[in-house]
Amino acid sequence: MKTLDLNWWRIGLAFVVPTLLGWVVARLFWRRRRADTMMGSVLGGGAIFAAILIFFAGEYIEITRFQIAFAGVPYKVRLGEFNRFVIYAFIGFFDVAAVYLLGLSHEERQR
């Protein structure tokens, strides 16, 4: 029986890449003026959302390829599609929360 396990390398990248991408995008606006703090946080959150959607797509493609490759053979997926997507959704949620908290601390420092 074939088994599809979680791709821990991809989950690790999902922790690092969207966080850094969102922080860099937000930081570009935070450095301009005091009025751009909220805009930077919103655009940083949008960048995180876009990156997490790419990870969703990668997971979906991996599951679909596995199911097609082993269509006639018994196989087992350790976690269902929904649970795998929830992992990435929580990562994205915490990344966006971190960017907003960093933006809040940046705004408080400017006062």
DSSP designation for 79: S
Q: What is the pLDDT of residue 35?
A: 60
Regions of the chain short of the pLDDT cut 50 = none
Q: What is the pLDDT of residue 44?
A: 93
Cβ atoms 10, 85 nearer than 8 A: no
Can you tell me the distance from the alpha carbon of 51 to that of 62, in angstroms, rounded to the nearest whole number? Answer: 17
Q: What is the pLDDT of residue 40?
A: 87
Query: Within 10 A of 26 (CB to CB), how many other CB atoms are there?
Result: 27
| Global pTM value | 0.85
Helix axes 81-110, 8-30, angle to 10 degrees: 30
